[in-house]
Structure 1
Amino acid sequence: MHSDQIDITLDVVRQLVDEQFPRWSSLPISQVDVSGTDNALFRIGDQLAARFPLRGSDTAAVRIEIKHEAEAAQTLLGSTPFPTPEPVAFGEPGPGYPLPWSVQTWLPGTTASAADPGASVLFAQDLASFIRGVRSIDTGGRIFSGSRRGGDLRDHAEWMEICFNSSEHLLDVPALRRLWAGFRELPPPASVDVMNHGDLIPGNVLVANGRLAGILDVGGLGPADPALDLVGAWHLLDDVPRTALRDDLGCDDVEWERGKAWAFEQSMGVVWYYVDSNPGMSKMGQRTLERLVANKS
């Protein structure tokens, strides 16, 4: 998926686990087919999962990032009615893999990419409950810092131009440019930053019996625009459930539009970037853009 991607095989994972965590040497290991783009995932037995970063050349920086992800996971535990991964252990570089890695608890369920709960009002209400729980976490006075989604929409103008130019053979770019022109002029949030999961896409959402069963990839937890987690309304839900989520959260018009804008920014980036290397991710972006265009009024 990336020009600088690190490949890791099942044999290498088996050796790393056996050498660094001999207490798990008797457990079977299998690679998990996931739509994620940042980590390779391997299941250890029935209750554990090992995550291996796919990119990075600075071992110290990757170690800091993994520790940050673990701290975020620990902060999120118990803050919502839904299970999230619990950090278990940290692995070190070894033969065949040059970076630190991590082990966390395995959560049962089917990803929303496969289960597609978009027509369910009950699922939408579950998602609203999760968002409320995350927002209730104390920011400790922190505010958004960084260059990814969750700050000022206008800071993404250069990236969006790259996306538009790279998508001309895939999408109706003139129509999408007009949509973005309105989004980038939205006023800033009226309230202070709140905690957000930051990446509520179908591959990070688990479903069981049509209800929300868990949330994955929680390392992006942090303070941001209160509208950021509303991307889930567009990535995951059809019209009627989406309205139910909005009503449940009590979003005003500007917050709702900003949520649409963040979903738009994310989708424009994944459609062209992953069109060949991760078709599922690309199609997710296309579907979200179709929903946004259909609801542009």
Structure 2
Amino acid sequence: MSGWDASRPGMATDASVPASATDASPMSATGASPVRQAPDAPPADVASDPSLVAALVAAQHPDLAGPVREVASGWDNTVFRLGERLAVRMPRRELGAHLVAGEQRWLPELAPRLPAPVPAPVRVGRPALGYPYPWSIVPWFDGVDAASVAPADRGEAADGLAGFLAALGDPRAPAPADAPANPYRGVPLVDRDPITRERIDAAVAQGLVDASAAAVLDAVRADALAAPVWAGPPVWVHGDPHPANLLLEASGSLAAVLDFGDLTLGDPACDLATGWLTFDAAGRARFRAAIEARRETDAADWRRARGWAVALGLAIVTAVGVDGRVGRIGAHALAEVVAEAR
């Protein structure tokens, strides 16, 4: 579960290869579907398989031992289903181990104040049996991955997602000073501006957007940069509340929020970008109204949020194009921004 900038991405460099969706969906029901593999994932530092996971669980948490099967291999973690109600997240890279450690530290503290389920570890695993990293046993959430649902059909999730983000980023409960730092999420948009401008040019050069759309995106980028910066205390920022990290009920309402690897502190407008990443115009209006009913926002917050949508959408499409599960998220965000701003 992760971001769209390099390394898992977003935590080391800003070279941008998408990761997010690939680690998110394993938390949803997969039935007998084949293992989902992350496209173009970097080589694993260490391998894990069902027999290793079963042995680790049996040795360290014998009361939870049960059938184990692999369900997904992402950029940073391989995910195994443990019995019917649990999953095991096994870092496949050292960077993933750092992210799992952050989730182990913060999600149990945050989960009680959040109005939607999150994969807070129910048990923590130690390195053993030749496996070098910490690992987690987390809840298994049944539901539908929002990235597999058409944007026009995601509107029922707007209220739940707004409530979740309002609770997470509540200025009355700011993030502590020792919250995880992330140079690519929650920061002032000026910090991302050079790479965003480069990506606009790259998107045109690659034929991903035409010159007219690029001009609109550049104008939105400039407008977001000119908006007053976040003046409140640094708040908790999920970092990647895009459709592949959202799980839906059969009714379309929000079932769970996944992937807290990019959890950080900073400007909540970063998370508000989901209005363009996740929804169409009607859903976005519903999402905005639900946010504004729960916490004070102003026009500057939404200008910056739309700037974040441009930055993140460009990061996706210049990395993987506009097709495929992840590419469609970025393409949708950019199309929504352009349609709204024209």
- The normalised TM-score by structure 1 is 0.84
Q: Which runs of 5+ in 1 are unaligned?
A: none
* CA distance in structure 2 between the aligned counterparts of 1:4 and 1:241, rounded to whole angstroms: 35
SS at match of 1:82: coil
Once the two structures are TM-superposed, the CA of residue 91 in structure 1 deviates from its matched residue by 4.5
Pick from 288, 301, 326 the counterpart of residue 281 of structure 1. Answer: 326
Letter in 2 for 1:203: A
Q: CA RMSD in A?
A: 2.9
Once the two structures are TM-superposed, the CA of residue 217 in structure 1 deviates from its matched residue by 0.9
Identity, % of aligned positions? 27
* CA distance in structure 2 between the aligned counterparts of 1:144 and 1:93, rounded to whole angstroms: 26
> Is 1:182 equivalent to 2:226 in the alignment?
no
* CA distance in structure 2 between the aligned counterparts of 1:261 and 1:84, rounded to whole angstroms: 27
Evaluate the alpha carbon distance shift between residue 182 and residue 115 of structure 1 in structure 2; reply closer, same or farther with a 3 A threshold.
Answer: same
**Count of matched residue positions in the alignment of Structure 1 and Structure 2:** 288
Counterpart of 1:15 in structure 2 is 51
Evaluate the alpha carbon distance shift between residue 6 and residue 291 of structure 1 in structure 2; reply closer, same or farther with a 3 A threshold.
Answer: same
SS at match of 2:87: strand
Letter in 2 for 1:156: R
* CA distance in structure 2 between the aligned counterparts of 1:18 and 1:157, rounded to whole angstroms: 46
* CA distance in structure 2 between the aligned counterparts of 1:81 and 1:191, rounded to whole angstroms: 23
Counterpart of 2:86 in structure 1 is 48
* CA distance in structure 1 between the aligned counterparts of 2:176 and 2:70, rounded to whole angstroms: 40
Evaluate the alpha carbon distance shift between residue 44 and residue 232 of structure 1 in structure 2; reply closer, same or farther with a 3 A threshold.
Answer: same
Once the two structures are TM-superposed, the CA of residue 181 in structure 1 deviates from its matched residue by 2.8
Evaluate the alpha carbon distance shift between residue 85 and residue 26 of structure 1 in structure 2; reply closer, same or farther with a 3 A threshold.
Answer: closer
* CA distance in structure 2 between the aligned counterparts of 1:44 and 1:295, rounded to whole angstroms: 44
Pick from 43, 68, 71 the counterpart of residue 32 of structure 1. Answer: 71
* CA distance in structure 2 between the aligned counterparts of 1:24 and 1:158, rounded to whole angstroms: 52
* CA distance in structure 2 between the aligned counterparts of 1:189 and 1:86, rounded to whole angstroms: 29
Pick from 237, 243, 251 the counterpart of residue 202 of structure 1. Answer: 243
Counterpart of 2:143 in structure 1 is 109
Letter in 1 for 2:314: M
> Is 1:139 equivalent to 2:174 in the alignment?
yes
Pick from 246, 253, 257 the counterpart of residue 288 of structure 2. Answer: 246
Conserved in 1, the CA contact under 8 Å of 2:90 and 2:136? yes
Pick from 309, 314, 318 the counterpart of residue 272 of structure 1. Answer: 318
Letter in 2 for 1:29: V
* CA distance in structure 1 between the aligned counterparts of 2:287 and 2:71, rounded to whole angstroms: 31
Conserved in 2, the CA contact under 8 Å of 1:118 and 1:236? no
Letter in 1 for 2:70: Q
Once the two structures are TM-superposed, the CA of residue 157 in structure 1 deviates from its matched residue by 2.3
Counterpart of 1:263 in structure 2 is 309
Pick from 227, 230, 239 the counterpart of residue 269 of structure 2. Answer: 227
Once the two structures are TM-superposed, the CA of residue 272 in structure 1 deviates from its matched residue by 2.2
Once the two structures are TM-superposed, the CA of residue 117 in structure 1 deviates from its matched residue by 6.0
Q: Which runs of 5+ in 2 are unaligned?
A: 1-38
- The normalised TM-score by structure 2 is 0.74
Evaluate the alpha carbon distance shift between residue 274 and residue 102 of structure 1 in structure 2; reply closer, same or farther with a 3 A threshold.
Answer: farther
* CA distance in structure 1 between the aligned counterparts of 2:129 and 2:316, rounded to whole angstroms: 32
Once the two structures are TM-superposed, the CA of residue 256 in structure 1 deviates from its matched residue by 0.7
Conserved in 2, the CA contact under 8 Å of 1:93 and 1:100? no
SS at match of 1:107: coil
SS at match of 2:52: helix
Counterpart of 1:123 in structure 2 is 157
Counterpart of 2:192 in structure 1 is 156
